Chains A and B, each alone.
Chain A
Amino acid sequence: MVNENLSIVHFSLTTYHLPLTTIMRYIPNSPEERGEMLKLVGLDSAADLFRSIPSDVQLNRALKITEPLAESELISGMEKLADKNTAAKRPSFLGAGAYSHYSPTVVDHLIQRSEFFTSYTPYQPEISQGTLQYIFEFQTLVCQLTGMEVANASMYDGSTALAEAVLMAQRVTRKDRVIIAQTVHPEYLEVTKTYTQHGDLKIETLHFDNESGRISADDLSNLDDKCAALVIQSPNFFGCIEDVKALADKAHSVGALLILVVTEAISLGLLKSPGECDADIVVAEGQSFGIPLSFGGPYLGLFATKEKYVRNLPGRLVGVAYDKNGNRGFVLTLATREQHIRREKATSNICTNQGLIALAATIYMETMGKKGLQEVAVQNAQKAAYAARRISEIEGFSLPFSAPKFNEFVVRAPKSADEILSKLLSKKAIVGGLSLSRYFSDNANDFLVCVTETSSREQIDNLVEGLKEISK
């Protein structure tokens, strides 16, 4: 019995049925070499290496995989599989931190140049002038976009950037309480809690106003002089635009920093800049700038602050310098904050950046330009406003929050949002949005709808018709 099992395992571990060329292509040693190795360690077969595993937990048969395929067969097989993924082709009104936007072809084309595509974060930085130059341009664009004075070379994504911002506020103020608005993306809050759980940081949350859908500057009872920062998001998780300036003033009045989270960076093309609103640290998700949705990553964290806090900035920073002959060059600057120099006293453990993704965002911003970005932002706001108006006219549907919005808004349905969205998907093949019940148990009938420039009027009208039919 045992021998029989082993012989089957033995079969599955070898590739005798394949032609030798195939074996050689993927397995670097030949059957002869494997025989020599077995002889050296005193075993008869590779299966003997697994003798200590009880036979009843062994698979005891060959893996069910197809015979080798030709390249053309493989491609058509993969296409058949991909065709099953109909969700990717359906009209989608999902947002909530990951947004569908048009990306000019030049973005993907340029980032695939090998000098960009294959390079890692520069550890001998000044030799990589091209890399440093585009990071410098990226930082400059982020500063112009946010109205802030200094931006780093990027972080992993918006949520980890927020966690780093909270730690930075703790370093700057030497206080350890942070208040995070409930209107900040719930997953950003989770990441921040995970990231900071072993430190001495205390995180408190702040309720939103049920009528406006945002934080009220008059309702900051737990904000006091023991707080390192007040964290808000605008447009917030419900798509509502917060009164950033009023909240910044409140934070400053008790000596706390105002950390502003932006999950939809396109909104910066239309809204008053965070710098004008006197935010101290701005963190944003840069995915909207030419980065595909791709199941949630890799994305891009933008991080900007005021110059007076630059020594507490996490991550890398590229500066411009001139050599003794007056030639311009780029250097990694203030590297003394970083862990390869300051070890455990480094400002952050982030010693790298999202190089390629930051490059994509840089090319996107430079291609769109100031006007282009404004135009995209206006289109988003207008299309979303149209969709919001049409949906609010459906019997039984309403928009529960009164605050101004950008390209996302909450819809209150006459019955469970989960039920409506799943019917919309199964009967109308439309991904109608995100049910809020996933994050807020009191809001079971609410769902978040996002409309960007990629949604056509026809798709919006179909969504409205679909909601009408389904809610009947």
Chain B
Amino acid sequence: MANIPENLHYSKDHEWVEVKDGVATVGITDYAQHSLGDVVYVDLPRVGDNLASHEAFGSIESVKAVSEVFTPVAGEIVEVNDDLNDTPESVNADPYGAAWMIKVKMENALEADAMLNAAEYEEYLSETE
């Protein structure tokens, strides 16, 4: 059973968002990391890039596949988790903690409220399986 923390917002593309003072931290969910398998490389954008909602901002490479990661919220990237260059495996080990990917200064602070909450995401997963 996938781990789905209560306090986060979720997208149907399996990203999570945590909002604090208008800045959204984005990562991929436990379900997503499990589906991808062993992650060997994470390709991330640079600080200062501007993203539109649902735009691809990077890609995650596992042993046999590459998947794009999309931002659920629009805004400017203010921080990128460069640690993932050296420790891509933390995407598997700690998807909600050490493996956060980018922080986005949101154009619309309320955008995350339209996303799924933990219960809705869990229901979405059970429907798709």
Chain B proximity of A178: nearest CB distance (Å): 19
8 Å CB interface, A310-330 against B:
311
- Determine whether the beta carbon of B46 is less than 8 Å from that of A174: yes
**Complex alpha-carbon distance, A64 and B30, angstroms:** 76
- Determine whether the beta carbon of B65 is less than 8 Å from that of A336: yes
- Determine whether the beta carbon of A311 is less than 8 Å from that of B66: no
8 Å CB interface, B33-67 against A:
41, 43, 46, 59, 61, 64-66
- Determine whether the beta carbon of A311 is less than 8 Å from that of B46: no
Chain B proximity of A53: nearest CB distance (Å): 53
Judge whether A341 is part of the interface by a CB distance below 8 angstroms. Answer: yes
Chain B proximity of A169: nearest CB distance (Å): 16
Residue of B nearest to A312 (CB): B43
8 Å CB interface, A420-456 against B:
none
Judge whether A345 is part of the interface by a CB distance below 8 angstroms. Answer: yes
Chain A proximity of B66: nearest CB distance (Å): 5
**Complex alpha-carbon distance, A345 and B46, angstroms:** 17
Residue in B41, B59, B64, B65 whose beta carbon sits within 8 Å of that of A345 in the complex: B59
- Determine whether the beta carbon of A341 is less than 8 Å from that of B66: yes
- Determine whether the beta carbon of B41 is less than 8 Å from that of A311: yes
- Encoded as 1 (CB less than 8 Å from any B CB) or 0, chain A from 325 to 363 comes to 000000000001000011001000000000000000000
Residues of B within 8 A of A342 (CB): 66
- Encoded as 1 (CB less than 8 Å from any A CB) or 0, chain B from 96 to 107 comes to 000000000000
Residue of B nearest to A308 (CB): B85
**Complex alpha-carbon distance, A174 and B65, angstroms:** 24
**Complex alpha-carbon distance, A88 and B46, angstroms:** 55
- Determine whether the beta carbon of B61 is less than 8 Å from that of A336: yes
Chain A proximity of B24: nearest CB distance (Å): 23
Chain A proximity of B40: nearest CB distance (Å): 8
- Determine whether the beta carbon of B66 is less than 8 Å from that of A336: yes
Chain A proximity of B55: nearest CB distance (Å): 14
Chain A proximity of B98: nearest CB distance (Å): 21
Residues of A within 8 A of B65 (CB): 336, 341
**Complex alpha-carbon distance, A342 and B43, angstroms:** 13
Residues of A within 8 A of B59 (CB): 345
**Complex alpha-carbon distance, A345 and B66, angstroms:** 10
**Complex alpha-carbon distance, A66 and B58, angstroms:** 65
Chain A proximity of B47: nearest CB distance (Å): 12
- Between B64, B66, B68, the greatest number of chain A beta carbons within 10 A of the residue's beta carbon is seen for B66
**Complex alpha-carbon distance, A260 and B61, angstroms:** 30
Chain A proximity of B93: nearest CB distance (Å): 21
Residues of B within 8 A of A336 (CB): 41, 61, 64-66
Chain B proximity of A183: nearest CB distance (Å): 33
Chain B proximity of A331: nearest CB distance (Å): 12
**Complex alpha-carbon distance, A336 and B36, angstroms:** 14
**Complex alpha-carbon distance, A84 and B119, angstroms:** 85
**Complex alpha-carbon distance, A336 and B88, angstroms:** 15
**Complex alpha-carbon distance, A342 and B61, angstroms:** 10
Residue of B nearest to A345 (CB): B59
Residues of A within 8 A of B46 (CB): 174
Residues of B within 8 A of A345 (CB): 59, 66, 68
Residues of A within 8 A of B61 (CB): 336
Interface residues of A (CB under 8 A from B): 174, 311, 336, 341-342, 345
A-B complex: 7 closest residue pairs judged by Cβ atoms: A336-B66, A336-B61, A342-B66, A341-B66, A311-B41, A174-B46, A345-B59
Q: A336-B41, A336-B66 are in contact. List 12 more A-B contacts (CB 8 A).
A: A174-B46, A311-B41, A311-B43, A336-B61, A336-B64, A336-B65, A341-B65, A341-B66, A342-B66, A345-B59, A345-B66, A345-B68
